[in-house]
Every structure is written in C-alpha cells, then in structure tokens.
Structure 1
Amino acid sequence: MDAPLDSAPVAPAPRRALTTWSGLNCSVLFCDIAGFGDPSRDDEDRRVVREVTYRILLSALDALGVPPSDTYREDRGDGALVILSPAVPTASLVDPLAGHLAVALRLHNHRASAAVRVQLRVALHVGPITPDAEGLNGQAIIQTARLMEAPALKTALAETGADLGLIVSPFVYEAFVAHLHGPLDPGSFEKVTVQVKETTTEAWMYLTGAKPRSSPAPAPASPDPDGSTVFSGNVQVRGDLVLGNKIINER
C-alpha cells in the first residue's frame, strides 16, 4: 500500500484569469503519463499514478515560487495542460523545473512497483492563447500537443526507461535553453524531427533518470585458421618448430 500522498498546492487561477492573458505569449506546458492505459494497470493503479503525477507536477511548480494566480490547468485524463502567465519566466520551466521533476520521479520510482511507476513526457512551447466558451484555443497549444506525441520521444522513453522526457520547441531552445548556465547542460538536449498528424517540425529532447545499460558481452575470439600461429612479444625457439605436418625424408 502506498503511503498517503501529500496535499497538493493551492488551486490554480480560475478561467476568468485567462482573459487578461488572451493574445499574450504564455508558456504552454503539456504533461503526459507514458503507458497510462497499459493493460497491466488496473483502475486503482491508474488512480495512484494520477495522484502521484499531480503531486509531483504541482509541487515542482510550487517550488519555483509561481503564484497560483499565474497558473491555469486543465486535466487531460492521462496528463494535464498547464498555461502560465507571461509573468512567469519560461526559462524557469526548463531549469530548475526539470530538476525538481527528475528528483521527485526518481524518489517515487525507486520504491514503486511496476504498475505504479511513473514516466512523464513533458512538452514546452510559448505562444498566444485565447479562451473560448469550451476551453482554450491557440496554435501554441496544438504545437505543444504535437511535440508531446513525438515518436522519437516515445521511443526514447521506452528504450531507456527514463523517468522524464522533456521536449521543447525550437523557439524555447534557442531563446532560453541555449543560454542556461545552471545545472542543466544545454548540450544534453538532442535535436529530433517531429512528424505528428499535419505537423512537421524540429524539437529538442532531454532525458533524465534513464536506466544504466549493461555493457555488451565481448564477442568470442575467432578461431585461428588451420596451420597458423600468432606470437606476441619476443620468441626464442630451440630445436624444431613445426607448423602443420612434419615430413622427414631419410635416404
């Protein structure tokens, strides 16, 4: 049985707060739980995974000192859409946010069973958003969703077992990531091509918490060809040295 979850930070800004951000460049953050619908999970497992994910995500945002009034979020079932006001520095949503997420995920996954282990895909972009009667609208939201669905990101998480896969748009990388001087090294981001639905673009991917790969076993030595001998170093021979058949003809 998992330990009781810590209480989540204060609720985010209500929808009416979005009207003051409408048309302005906001940071758009999509978070998705990899393998959420895996058949090996039951409904109770998914409940735990959702609670853990929200606790980790909201605690990480809270650690940045972002006021609830500067954050708006929508639940997406297997993840969340988070909109942050123009007042929140986008760079902080890469570093130190990625570090906070990585530490929390590592601590949880270290003691979690496979059914409630959490791997997160997080996508970040910047652009104008517009609220409407049913929710939010804006190309920036669509673009961020496409980044999160990047096949390269999904494959990398599956192959490495990483806790966190962060993917950012070219604008976010060039304007913010490339200029970071903190613990997160911009050189640890890998450039990837994203082709999802009608979107084809480039992006930058960062993984953390990957499982160490075991070294491949050395290949067996090839047998020497018949009749060959290989010496290493100085060799002194006294008497006969016979390679192959020794035939002596006596007369």
Structure 2
Amino acid sequence: MSDTLGVVAPAVILVRPQLGVNIGACARAMLNFGLTDLRLVAPRDGWPNPDAGPAASGADVVLANARVFDTVAEACAGLGLIFATTMRGRELTRRVVTPAQAAREFHGLAGQGGLMYGPERTGLETEDLAVAHAILTIPVNPDFGSLNLAQAVIVSAYEWFRQADDTEAATLVNHDGPAPHEELEGLIDAVDVQLRANGYYNPVPGRAAAARLLMRNLFTRPEFTAGEVRSLRGIVRGLSQRRGGG
C-alpha cells in the first residue's frame, strides 16, 4: 500500500513470534495505519494460526497475505532500509533512531523499507539485529519500559501514517537508496566464500561466527546502493582471480 505521496508502506517482520493472538493484534495495528505487508519468520506455532483471526478484529487482509520465511535474511528480500526494534544495541555498531525519525526516512525512500520485531519474551538476537541497517528504539518511561508486541508495532505504524502528508522526502545527491537486501546478502556470501577459501577463519578456534558477524556489520551499516553492491562484488571477484600485468 502506498500513501498519497506514492511512498510504499514499510513491511512488518515478526521474528519467531510465539502466540497467534499477538500476530493478530499486530495485524490490527498495522491496518489501522495503512500497513499491509506482514512477514513472519519461523512462527513458533506454525501458520496459519486459528488464534490470529479473532485478535485481528477484521484486519483479515493482512493475515490472508502474510508470508512465512525460514530466516530473517529471506524475510528482508526486496527491502532497502530495515530498522530493528529493540531496547538495546547489544554488540553491534548501529545508529539508533526513534519511530518519528524512522518514519521520515521511510518517506524519503525510493523503495520499500521494513520494521523488524523480535519474539515476545526475548526480543531480537544479535544475529537478527545484524541484518538490519539501524536500531529503532521507542522512548518510554525509564521506570517502566514494558511494551507488548502489538504496542511496539502500532507506535511505529502511527508515526509512518502521521507523516504521510507533511514529510518532505529527504534526498541524497546521486544516491538511489539502499540496495535490495537479497543483493546485499549476495555480496556478504561472496566475501564469506572467498574468506573460507583463503583460510581466513582457520587460525583461531571459534573465530568464524564472530568474524562473520563483524563482516555482516561492516557491509550492512553503510546502506550501500545497488550499484555500490555490484561494484563491491566485482572487487571481490577481482581480488580472488590472478591476473597478469601490473
């Protein structure tokens, strides 16, 4: 769904949601403010879930079109700018924005963005956060910061909807927006293949997981364009092939 300015509404990605009633409540919150693209990553109780419908209170179109994915990376395919909602940045270097700031960026985005939310009890893991470009944190009472899943969704959805008519699109010169996520994944996979072939992970036992996480962080944070991703993949190929000349 697009707003009156033609901006594509962000997708909502629920990572390992636990209860069907919470998925339904999120669908209701989404449709209240014009969001219809719901993506579920490995829902605990499977999908479809009979408890979701009653909780959606009529937001059946969101549930009917919900898509299920095995991994966070797969769920982010086609999305350019992804915000992971969490109370803390944990181990990654990421810029942190509020829902209002995220909404402004979505309205200046050429393609579609995404809002990622973690499981009800534990929130997003570091590996989930590493897929996102930035962290979205909702300002709350520091003495009582407990929000349920649907509340977190509705705050961000409201900000996107509220700004639909009065936000000037933010632009960067010669920048057509972040590359679709699957293209970025292709770059990360290409670098990983070359590093494994060169034995980069071998010297230190247990290094591979931490090194891969750091590499993902390095490539995700800058919000490379599709052209920049293609150039970087060409650089990786060039470094991996022996050529003559000087």
Which structure would you say has the larger Rg?
1
Superposition TM-score tier, normalisation by shorter sequence: under 0.3
Greater fraction helix? 2
Greater fraction strand? 1
Question: TM-score of the superposition, structure 2-length normalised?
Answer: 0.27
